[in-house]
């Protein structure tokens, strides 16, 4: 849940990057961290296994500038994508303000994408949220790979509600900031609308 | 989506004072008050060398994970946790289900003293959170959100 501090004049929001294992959630955060000026970011934390798979979450605090004298701070989290870490995924969704679903475009990962998207809907429902009412953006990652599925096919299966969507290659950074800006903007718009 | 959590200057100042007094009374190195979603609310003591943002996020994750364990054990929330380090120890308590109170201390204090002092401070903080909740519900304070326009949001994302 967003937090507005009238004393320190800050608006804090929580964004969660969700998706199947190895889809590039952590790579999105690494790119954002690498390309953001030091004064606009905090330390990036990765709670990962020895083989660098996300164990609990990655965390990156970002400042996106000021609105009407209030600093806007976004806390970016990723979830562990591997199926058996479901309990952790649920916890990380607590208090979420906006979600990015990072899909793996490789045709072989279609099943994993569908499973993860179903899991996202279910876990949000468990926390009292509805994906259709939450600020939500879909990112089709790994578009540069030769085995990437056609966009029409991905759209049909993974974005039936026609949420905002972006093609991306998180390793090169293509589409990474477009995705972040879209979800952050959507969160602020929703926050204002909710008043 | 429900409305945002808020904090007003009057209660913020009062919470900072409670943190400062707890730091002194418990002989603590530092005290942090954190929202359950990991946002830093107030702090006191020796925090200049601390990465408060990271500490807040990790503590909230820790509390959430412990809460998950308590559910599996069909136990109500674990209200407090204690981590013993070589030099620095951490005492973590839930404040009325709304926030997390963290006390960092060393050999100059003791777990017993920290526990004793935390109880009193925690009760005061619950009262302050109640006051914030009442103000927010009554909408007695003007909201920044009503002043924000579409162009304010657009301007934030202009390159």
Could you read off the pLDDT of A72-97 as tens digits, one per residue?
Answer: 999 999 999 999 899 999 999 999 99
Given an 8 Å threshold on Cβ–Cβ distance, is A6 in contact with B7?
yes
Q: Is residue B1 pLDDT above 60, yes or no? A: no
* CATH code for the domain of A168: 3.40.50.300
Q: Does the CB of A37 have a partner CB in chain B at under 8 Å?
A: no
CB B143 within 8 A of CB A6: no
Number of structural domains in chain B: 1
Does residue B69 form part of some domain?
Answer: yes
CB B72 within 8 A of CB B65: no
Distance in angstroms (rounded) separating the CA atoms of residues B153 and B159: 13
Does residue B116 form part of some domain?
Answer: yes
Q: Which residue of A has its CA nearest to B52?
A: A42
Does residue B1 form part of some domain?
Answer: no
Q: Which residue of A has its CA nearest to B147?
A: A68
Does residue B104 form part of some domain?
Answer: yes
Given an 8 Å threshold on Cβ–Cβ distance, is A7 in contact with B8?
yes
Task: Convert the pLDDT of each residue in B63-107 to its tens digit.
Answer: 999 999 999 999 988 999 999 999 999 999 999 988 999 999 999
Given an 8 Å threshold on Cβ–Cβ distance, is B35 in contact with A3?
yes
Could you give the maximum distance between any two Cα atoms of chain A, in Å? Answer: 52
Q: Does the CB of A7 have a partner CB in chain B at under 8 Å?
A: yes
Given an 8 Å threshold on Cβ–Cβ distance, is A3 in contact with B65?
no
Number of structural domains in chain A: 1
Q: Does the CB of B62 have a partner CB in chain A at under 8 Å?
A: no
Q: How confident is the model at residue B21 (pLDDT cuts 50, 70, 90)?
A: very high
Does residue B4 form part of some domain?
Answer: no
- The domain of A145 spans 3-193
Q: What is the dihedral of CA A186, A192, B1, B5, to 10 degrees?
A: 120
Q: What ipTM does the predicted assembly reach?
A: 0.88
Does residue B98 form part of some domain?
Answer: yes
Across B102-126, b (16+ Cβ under 10 Å) vs e yields bbbbeeebeeebbeebbeebbebbe
* DSSP single-letter state for residue A10: E
Does residue B52 form part of some domain?
Answer: yes
- The domain of B77 spans 9-156
Does residue B3 form part of some domain?
Answer: no
Q: Which residue of A has its CA nearest to B14?
A: A7
Percent of chain B scored above 90 by pLDDT?
77
Cβ-based contacts under 8 A for chains A and B: 127
Q: Which residue of A has its CA nearest to B9?
A: A7
* CATH code for the domain of B47: 3.30.450.30
Of B4, B51, B57, the CB nearest to A2: B4
Q: Is residue A70 pLDDT above 70, yes or no? A: yes
Tokens 């889809």 sit on residue = A23
* pTM of this prediction exceeds 0.90: yes
């Amino acid at each position: 849940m967003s937090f507005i501090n009238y004393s320190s004049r800050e608006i804090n929001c929580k964004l969660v990057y969700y998706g199947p294992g190895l889809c590039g959630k952590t790579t999105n955060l690494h790119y954002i961290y690498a390309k953001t000026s030091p004064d606009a970011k905090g330390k990036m934390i990765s709670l990962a296994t020895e083989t660098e798979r996300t164990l609990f979450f990655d965390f990156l605090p970002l400042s996106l500038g000021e609105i009407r004298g209030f600093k806007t701070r976004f806390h970016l989290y990723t979830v562990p994508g591997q199926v058996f870490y479901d309990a952790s995924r649920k916890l990380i969704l607590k208090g979420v303000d906006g979600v990015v679903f990072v899909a793996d475009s490789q045709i072989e990962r279609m099943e994993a994408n569908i499973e993860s998207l179903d899991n996202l809907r279910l876990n949000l429902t468990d926390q009292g949220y509805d994906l259709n009412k939450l600020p939500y953006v879909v990112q089709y990652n790994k578009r540069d790979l030769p085995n990437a599925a056609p966009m029409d096919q991905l759209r049909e299966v993974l974005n039936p509600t026609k949420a905002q969507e972006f093609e991306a290659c998180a390793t090169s950074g293509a589409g990474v900031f477009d995705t972040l800006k879209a979800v952050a903007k959507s969160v602020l718009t929703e926050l204002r609308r909710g008043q | 989506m429900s409305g945002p959590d808020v904090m007003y200057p009057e209660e913020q100042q009062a919470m900072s004072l409670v943190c400062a007094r707890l730091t002194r009374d418990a002989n603590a190195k530092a005290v942090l008050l954190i929202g359950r979603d990991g946002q830093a609310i107030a702090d006191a003591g020796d925090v200049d060398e601390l990465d408060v943002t990271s500490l807040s996020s990790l503590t909230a994750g820790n509390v959430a994970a412990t809460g998950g364990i308590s559910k599996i054990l069909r136990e109500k929330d674990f209200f407090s946790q204690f981590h013993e380090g070589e030099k620095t120890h951490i005492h973590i308590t839930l404040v009325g289900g709304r926030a997390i109170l963290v006390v960092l201390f060393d050999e100059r204090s003791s777990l017993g003293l920290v526990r004793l002092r935390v109880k009193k401070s925690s009760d005061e903080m619950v009262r302050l959170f109640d006051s914030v909740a009442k103000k927010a519900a009554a909408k007695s304070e003007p909201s920044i959100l009503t002043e924000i326009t579409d162009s304010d949001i657009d301007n934030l994302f202009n390159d």
